[in-house]
Amino acid sequence: MLVRRVTKADPQVLQSFYDLERSGWKGKEGTAIGCSEQTRQFYDEIAQNGERFGYLSLFFLDFNGHPVAAQFGLTHAGRYFMPKLAFDENYRKYGPGHLLIHEIMRDCVENTIHEYDFTGPWAEYKAKWTSINRSHFTLWVFCKRMGGRLSHLVKFKMEANAKNVLRRWLGASKTNSNGSAAESF
């Protein structure tokens, strides 16, 4: 096994990461970077600017000349941030993602990086490495023009109403013929 760190936004290397990420469940669910041209462009631009400013840190764990795990990472101000990871699900039982995290943490120590940030909300695999969990927030910003007002209406009014209707519908479908509630999930 070979661990390699790439700090250049080489299109072939990025494609290798995107292909690996898309090869598993993220590709099937349509959430992989390569499933959306806009998302792909976003990560390409992050990589290009990361190279330009010296914070791009793509890590690959290769086995028999092929990547079995990879992380799209960013290193800045003594911290390593891991916004995206991927692994070959054919090697799942060997824990390639955990093997790569271990090697990246070793690299961090060697390069005086004092923090590894998993980024994003809690996930079971992250709990194997740390018990610290940071709160995450979502901030929505809308302009005052028609498009912004419409987006706000859809996001906060129509979406909430649709959820309420769905909850009522699901609740009604769970009642028995005598009107008592059925077992809830």
What tens digit of pLDDT does each residue of 100-111 get?
Answer: 989 999 998 999
116's tokens? 């590894």
Overall average pLDDT of the 175-183 stretch: 43
Q: For residue 172, name the pLDDT band (cuts at 50, 70, 90).
A: low
Of 72, 83, 86, nearest in space to 136 by CA: 83
> Is it the case that residue 176 has pLDDT exceeding 50?
no
79's tokens? 């911290």
In the chain, where are the structural domains located? Answer: 2-127, 138-185
Q: What is the pLDDT of residue 151?
A: 87
Distance (Å, whole) CA 139 – CA 158 = 18
pTM of the predicted structure, to 2 decimals: 0.69
Domain 2-127 architecture: 3-Layer(aba) Sandwich (3.40)
Q: Average model confidence (pLDDT) for the chain? A: 85
Overall average pLDDT of the 98-121 stretch: 86
Overall average pLDDT of the 153-170 stretch: 80
Distance (Å, whole) CA 54 – CA 47 = 10
Q: What is the pLDDT of residue 123?
A: 65
> Is it the case that residue 76 has pLDDT exceeding 70?
yes
> Is it the case that residue 180 has pLDDT exceeding 90?
no
> Is it the case that residue 45 has pLDDT exceeding 70?
yes
Overall average pLDDT of the 3-26 stretch: 95
60's tokens? 């690959």
